[in-house]
Amino acid sequence: MKTTYSFLFLTVLFFPFWAQAQNDSFIFTSENSWGYNKKGIKIDGAAFAGSNSLNTLMFTEVLTQPTFSEKSKNAFLDRSQSRTNLFASNDWGVEFYKDSNTHFFVRNNNFQAFSSEKDISELFFFGNSPFRGQKIVTDGLNYVQANTLTTGFGFDVFKSKKLRIKSTLGFSILNNYRQVDAKYLHLYTATDGSYLDMNFDGVSIVEANAGIQGIGLSSSVRVDYLINESNTLSFVANNINGFYLFDNQEIKIDTSFVFNGVPFDVFDADASISGYLDSAYDETINRNKATKKGAMLPTQLNFKWTHKLSSKSSFVSSFEAVSMGKFGVYAQLAFINKHSNRLKTKTCLGYGNFRGFSWCEALEYRVKDYSFYLGVNNLQAIVVPTKTSNYGLSVGLFKQM
């Protein structure tokens, strides 16, 4: 089966990304948000692709060839996970910091998230030929993709010696939005490969439309509480959002269908599920279509504890959940060290059910009014690409004014 995921990974990797830095203090590698005290312009971003079972060699191969190699395919098939999870995103933007209280921004965010039983994911990735004469069942499938362009401003909500609350508010444009949820489904491939029987139960499908699909508001909130000079607790809620959709149709199905011998690729942005179904079911599809007026994209929640070991080093532990864990939970330990007034580094080790084991290294370097940043996720992927399941890259610049 020819793979069609390059759209996903090309947008996530090999893109000119930047990451944040700041004036007199190390902001990107700092432990909290206390210290915005200069005007400046920042170009920042982050890119990531991760899975609990897909390996980084597979990520690379979709950029250079139409099919997976036997080496990467077998490494995926040999994994023991009962489900296949995938999360990929890129986020970039420009921000202008007016002062310590206010900044203005323009940001673009693109992401895709997928979760299903492993057998179903194998069928989507490699086609239906290996499953002829077999019934494949999943007790849950979830997929969502979207692109948003947001402009807005950030401001202080409350600030004292112990507590600081910051927030952002933005106007967002939504496009390339697609969502598939299935409570239960099974697939049966005919022995001659001529058709696929699919049984739907609690299935909801929203397909992507051309152009702008909706508009809405998005917000974020950060709370930092200084327990004492050595300990800080932080809570961050990113992408609290709501969108009004212009002309999206949602299909809700609880019945059986026949595919015409073609495996539908859930990752193909141009594919239409109803377009693969037998024409005899067109009436059923149309009868179950309804106008979908609203949408909410996944929100990221992060809890963090920072402990200062000395004036130059800190230890940080954090826990993150995407869409209340539906599209990923992740725990991380980090060590931050200030080597000089110009150089600071950060080493992270973590694990998540949508990315597996993760190792990241980052550094921030300052020269006069400029701060530069470089970060790499999972360096071991270069040496053992079939043994790792995520990677990412970021670079950055901040210019003090």
Q: Render pLDDT for 260-299 as a digit per residue (tens, 0 to 9).
A: 554 555 455 555 555 555 555 566 666 677 788 899 999 9
For residue 401, CA distances in Å to 24, 39, 95, 344, 369 come to 12, 5, 13, 22, 8
Cβ(345)–Cβ(362) below 8 Å: yes
62-68 average pLDDT score: 75
Residue 1 in any domain: the answer is no
User: pLDDT tens digit string along 317-368?
Assistant: 999 998 888 888 999 999 999 999 899 999 999 998 888 888 999 999 999 8
Residue appearing with tokens 């149309």: 286
Of 346, 254, 279, 290, give the one whose Cα is nearest residue 27.
346
Lowest mean per-residue pLDDT among 3-17, 59-73, 284-298: 3-17
DSSP 294-342: EE-PPPEEEEEEEEESSSSEEEEEEEEEETTTTT-EEEEEEEEEE-SSS
**b/e sequence 60-99, b meaning 16+ C-beta within 10 Å:** bbbeeeeebeeebbebbeebebebbbbbbbbbbbbbebee
Q: What is the model's pLDDT at position 273?
A: 56
Q: Which residue has the higher pLDDT, 262 or 94?
A: 94
Cβ(145)–Cβ(297) below 8 Å: no
Residue 59 in any domain: the answer is yes
39-58 average pLDDT score: 87
Residues 106, 97: Cα–Cα separation, whole Å:
12
Report the DSSP pairing between strands 343-352 and 83-97: unpaired
Over 90: is that where the pLDDT of 124 sits? no
Residue 219 in any domain: the answer is yes
> Angle at Cα 15 formed by Cα 167 and Cα 395, nearest 5°?
60
Residue 347 in any domain: the answer is yes
Of 239, 266, 391, give the one whose Cα is nearest residue 324.
239
Over 70: is that where the pLDDT of 226 sits? yes
Q: Which residue has the higher pLDDT, 301 or 81?
A: 301
Residue 109 in any domain: the answer is yes
Cβ(259)–Cβ(277) below 8 Å: yes
User: pLDDT tens digit string along 138-162?
Assistant: 878 889 999 999 999 999 999 898 9
Residues 182, 225: Cα–Cα separation, whole Å:
41
Over 70: is that where the pLDDT of 1 sits? no
Over 60: is that where the pLDDT of 36 sits? no
Q: What is the model's pLDDT at position 285?
A: 64
Q: What is the model's pLDDT at position 40?
A: 87
Q: What is the model's pLDDT at position 365?
A: 94
Over 80: is that where the pLDDT of 182 sits? yes
User: Domain containing 338 — which CATH number?
Assistant: 2.40.160
Over 70: is that where the pLDDT of 19 sits? no
Residues 189, 258: Cα–Cα separation, whole Å:
10
Structure tokens at 47: 């890119």
Residues 116, 181: Cα–Cα separation, whole Å:
10
Residue 74 in any domain: the answer is yes
* Confidence tier at 116 by pLDDT (50, 70, 90): confident
58-86 average pLDDT score: 81
Q: What is the model's pLDDT at position 31?
A: 64
User: pLDDT tens digit string along 233-247?
Assistant: 999 999 999 999 998
Q: Which residue has the higher pLDDT, 206 or 11?
A: 206
Stretch (H or E) spanning 240: strand 231-253
Q: Calculate helix-pair angle for 118-126, 70-77, nearest 10 degrees.
A: 170
Over 90: is that where the pLDDT of 172 sits? yes
Query: How many independent structural domains does the chain possess?
Result: 1
Over 50: is that where the pLDDT of 256 sits? yes
Q: What is the model's pLDDT at position 304?
A: 94
Q: What is the model's pLDDT at position 132?
A: 81
Residue type, 92: W
> What does the mean pLDDT of the chain come to?
81
Domain limits for position 218 = 6-400
Cβ(115)–Cβ(329) below 8 Å: no
Residue 139 in any domain: the answer is yes
Q: What is the model's pLDDT at position 20?
A: 35
Residues 334, 316: Cα–Cα separation, whole Å:
5
Q: What is the model's pLDDT at position 272?
A: 59
Residue 118 in any domain: the answer is yes
Q: Percent of the chain beyond pLDDT 70?
A: 83
pTM value is 0.81
Which residues, other chains included, contact 356 with Cβ-Cβ below 8 Å and sequence gap of 6+? Answer: 50, 51, 52, 53, 388, 389, 390
